Amino acid sequence: MEKVTIITIAGGSASGKTTFAQTLSDKIFENHSVSHLSMDNYYKDFSHLNFEERQNLNFDHPSSLDIDLICKHLDDLKNFKSIQVPIYDFTTHSQSGKFKTINPSEVVIFDGILALQVEEVRKRSNIKIFIRTDDDIRFIRRLVRDVNDRGRNLDDVINQYLTTVRPMYKFFVEPSIEHADIIVPYYEGNKIAMDLVAAKINTLLSKSVNSEIINNNKIN
């Protein structure tokens, strides 16, 4: 069985986690197979509530996530098994009922605002990264994204940010930076940081592969 490395990326909402994860994936992909999971797809199914009730839920609290399913999927990928990832619908605040298949790979990149806050996820992570982005930049990016891509209105986005996103960031997300192995100051086009992190990870992966080859030779 091949060794699987799990890279976990955390940071505030709209901090650039997914962009960083995708860029990192592209840079690692040259030498290793990579798959990418987002914590956003693992919200619990609240379809039994009406739309207004779903709008008022606190999606920035760990209790909104299906932690058991996240851990099962990470364990399955660690054991080189395929998984069926649920597809979350942000326009309705509910699970879509659709799934996508993620096949086994040498490297799994898992990102989410609470990815380093959840101990069970940290235990399964080999490399832990925190993306640090200024609050005003994150708010502006979230505002544009939610209005343009998720069909939200301006007042609802601002209200959600003030009532749940910002306080949960201060209480849960920001303190999780202490668990990070690597802290990345992120801004658009921070190519140097991406290159440095990718190079470090590629080095670690290469050392792991070489070590495994040496150990196998000793056994033989």
Instruction: Give the tens place of pLDDT for each residue, 66-124.
Output: 999 999 999 999 999 999 999 999 888 889 999 999 999 999 999 999 999 999 999 99
pTM of this structure: 0.87
Average pLDDT over every residue of 192-202: 82
Give the count of alpha carbons within 13 A of 201, CB side only.
32
Q: Per-domain residue ranges for the chain?
A: 5-186
Identify which of 124, 128, 98, 120 has the alpha carbon closest to the alpha carbon of residue 17: 128
How do residues 55-65 score in pLDDT, each as one tens digit? 888 999 999 99
In the prediction, which pLDDT does 2 show? 61
How are beta strands 83-89 and 94-102 bridged, if at all?
Answer: antiparallel
Closest Cα to residue 85, out of 131, 133, 35, 128? 35
Confidence of residue 38 (pLDDT cuts 50, 70, 90): very high
Query: In this model, does residue 213 exceed pLDDT 80?
Result: no
Weakest mean pLDDT among 33-42, 103-112, 152-161, 187-196: 187-196
Q: Which residues contact 59 (CB under 8 A, 6 or more apart)?
A: 43, 93, 164
**If pLDDT is split at 50, 70 and 90, which confidence band does 189 have?**
low
Do the Cβ atoms of 73 and 85 come closer than 8 Å? yes
pLDDT bin (cut points 50, 70, 90) of residue 25 is confident
Instruction: Return the half-sphere exposure (C-beta side, CA atoms, 13 A cut-off) of residue 58.
Output: 13
DSSP helix/strand/coil, 150: coil
Q: Which residue has the tokens 């605040």?
A: 93
Question: Using CA of residue 6, residue 78, residue 101, residue 55, what is the dihedral sign?
Answer: negative
The end-to-end CA distance of the chain, in Å, is 16
Superfamily of domain covering 5-186: P-loop containing nucleotide triphosphate hydrolases (3.40.50.300)
pLDDT at 142 over 80: yes
Residues near 48 by Cβ (< 8 Å), separated by ≥ 6?
Answer: none
Identify which of 107, 25, 37 has the alpha carbon closest to the alpha carbon of residue 72: 37
